[in-house]
């Protein structure tokens, strides 16, 4: 049975963590990208679907290409960050289930049910996007998740050889520049959006 | 600038945490539910939309009602847990944006764009579902997230007075029974689902 994490950890993960719009000039290593994946992959998806496919844009060229697919207000954020990641969903994730979920014939659950397959790809990839944010924070990095980009342009620019992959979210990654954040938006008390039954 | 969390914290959040199918006979307090909300609400959603609406089923009656809406394999998991939470999305979340995101007229972004509004409600509620899982783990609790239930039945049983709220996910919550977990499913190495550009 676990105990609550220390307040300093809760601060780092949730309370003082922020979405950054600019980053310090400090690199992120390949080992840190692997560390994020090795944490985020452990968190749960339905029947271990793990439908997220990630393209980590590290080179100047890749970040320029991504910035060109993004909303004008997001492009400079991408260029300020040492890394920007594209989180895409594999809409044919079920083809991997025979080895990812050996307990049952989970692939067959999606045969002839495109609506379930597409909803499942989207919901589980989005869960993994949140796990990415939390894993990055857990290893001491900051993120700037965004949906303000052209999915079609990103898919054409980065995923032309895998037409089943569709971009869902992008995020900057690095050591956030405290000067780049906005004032914290309001966070409602429990009773506003919660009910106990 | 943050440091990586201690290995024990990374284990609790990601590496040794598991999805539980049964729970110990140990209650969860209302204060713990508030603590989860007060952490998860701090994590990012697009323009601070916070579209998730949560119904925490604590009473025997509420859990029985939820179990009756769920897949037969999920009903006993719900009855074994001290708490089961319904995570719904407010499909009219934009009505709250004047106070949740005072920086801009974000409500107007969704006027006449139902597809964007619905995608935004779904993606941001799903992010919040992942934040719920991580927040619960961070305060020492275990979860059992699931999508195997009838959305229509849950909405009719729990959300009849708020027809704009649509259930997305449910999860059990409590102190997990180690005897109730399955063998860990495989987790792929970085190179399987990731690419550096």
Domain-located, residue A189: no
pLDDT given at position B152: 98
Rounded to whole angstroms, what are the CA distances from A54 to A169, B21, B59, B110, B152?
A: 10, 30, 41, 28, 33
pLDDT in tens, B6-40: 999 999 999 999 999 999 999 999 999 999 999 99
pLDDT value at residue B180: 96
DSSP strand pairing (A142-146 vs A165-174) = antiparallel
Which residues constitute the domain of residue B136?
26-175
Cβ <8 Å between B190 and A37:
yes
Q: Using the Cα atoms of residue B23, residue B25, residue B26 and residue B27 in order, give the sign of their dihedral.
A: positive
What is d(CA A135, CA B74) in angstroms, rounded to the nearest whole number? 29
Q: What is the ipTM of this complex?
A: 0.98
Tell me what the pLDDT averaged over chain B comes to. 97
**Chain B nearest-CA residue for A24:** B1
CA distance B156 to chain A (A): 15
Residue A16, helix vs strand vs coil:
coil
Confidence class of residue B102 from pLDDT cuts 50, 70 and 90? very high
Q: Give the model's pLDDT for residue A29.
A: 98
Number of domains in chain B: 1
CB–CB contacts below 8 A, A to B: 224
User: So what's the pLDDT on residue A1?
Assistant: 74
> In this predicted structure, what is the pLDDT of residue A182?
86
pLDDT value of position B159: 98
B132-161: average pLDDT: 98
With CA atoms as reference, report the closest residue to A32 among A86, A87, A83, A76.
Answer: A83
Pick A197's closest partner by Cβ from B57, B185, B188. B57
Q: Which residues of B are less than 8 Å from A182 in CB distance?
A: 103
Report yes or no on B49 lying in a domain.
Answer: yes
CATH of the domain at A74: 3.40.109.10
Task: Tell me the nearest-neighbour CA distance from A189 into chain B, angstroms.
Answer: 7
pLDDT above 80: residue B138: yes
Average pLDDT over residues B119-146: 98
Residue of A nearest to B59 (CA): A197
With respect to residue B55, please indicate whether it lies within any of the assigned structural domains.
Answer: yes
pLDDT of residue A27: 97
CA distance A124 to chain B (A): 8
SS3 of residue B169 by DSSP? strand
Do B49 and B124 meet the contact criterion of CB atoms below 8 Å apart? yes
Q: What are the residue ranges of helices labelled H in A7-113?
A: 7-10, 30-40, 60-68, 75-80, 97-100
pLDDT(B4) > 80: yes
User: How distant is the Cα of A152 from the closest Cα of chain B, in angstroms?
Assistant: 15
Residue B44 has its nearest CB partner, among A19, A53, A158, at A19
| Per-residue model confidence (pLDDT) at position B182 | 86
Give B41-52 pLDDT, tens digit per residue: 999 999 999 999
Q: Do B138 and A37 touch (CB under 8 A)?
A: no
Question: Is pLDDT above 80 for B1?
Answer: no
B161/chain A closest Cα distance in angstroms: 13
State the pLDDT at residue A128: 98
Q: Specify the 3-state DSSP secondary structure of B185.
A: coil
Q: Record the tokens describing residue B114, joined without a space.
A: 């139902």
Task: Give a yes or no: residue B3 inside a domain.
Answer: no
Binary contact (A33, B190; C-beta < 8 A): yes
- pTM over 0.90, yes/no: yes
* C-beta atoms of A193 and B62 within 8 A: no
pLDDT < 70 positions in chain A: none
Name the nearest CA neighbour of B55 among B157, B174, B139, B164.
B157
**Closest Cβ opposite residue B126 in set A123, A140, A147:** A123
The reply to whether A181 falls in a domain is: no
Assess if residue B72 is contained within a domain: yes
Nearest CA in chain A to B5: A138
Residues with Cβ within 8 Å of B62's Cβ and at least 6 positions away in sequence, in order, are A197, B55, B84
Domain contains A5: no
CB contact under 8 A, B39 and A10: yes
CB within 8 Å: B3 and A140 = yes
Q: Tell if the CB–CB gap between B182 and A99 is shorter than 8 Å.
A: no
The per-residue pLDDT for B197 is: 98
What's the confidence (pLDDT) of residue B34? 98
- Tell me whether residue A90 is in a domain: yes
């Amino acid at each position: 049975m676990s105990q609550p994490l220390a307040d300093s950890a809760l601060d780092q993960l949730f309370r003082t963590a922020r979405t950054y719009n600019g980053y310090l000039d400090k690199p992120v290593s390949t080992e840190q990208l692997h560390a994020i994946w090795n944490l985020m992959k452990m968190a749960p998806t339905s029947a271990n679907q793990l439908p997220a496919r990630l393209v980590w844009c590290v080179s100047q060229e890749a970040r320029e290409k991504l910035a060109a697919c993004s909303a004008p207000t997001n492009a400079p954020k991408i260029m300020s960050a040492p890394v920007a990641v594209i989180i895409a969903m594999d809409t044919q994730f079920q083809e991997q289930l025979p080895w990812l979920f050996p307990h049952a014939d989970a692939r067959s659950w999606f045969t002839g049910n495109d609506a379930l397959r597409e909803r499942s790809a989207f919901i589980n990839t989005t869960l993994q996007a949140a796990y990415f944010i939390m894993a990055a924070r857990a290893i001491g990095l900051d993120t700037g998740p965004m949906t303000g980009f052209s999915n079609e342009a990103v898919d054409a620019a980065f995923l032309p050889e895998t037409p089943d992959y569709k971009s869902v979210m992008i995020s900057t990654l690095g050591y956030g520049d405290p000067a780049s954040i906005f004032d914290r938006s309001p966070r409602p008390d429990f009773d506003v959006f919660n009910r106990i039954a």
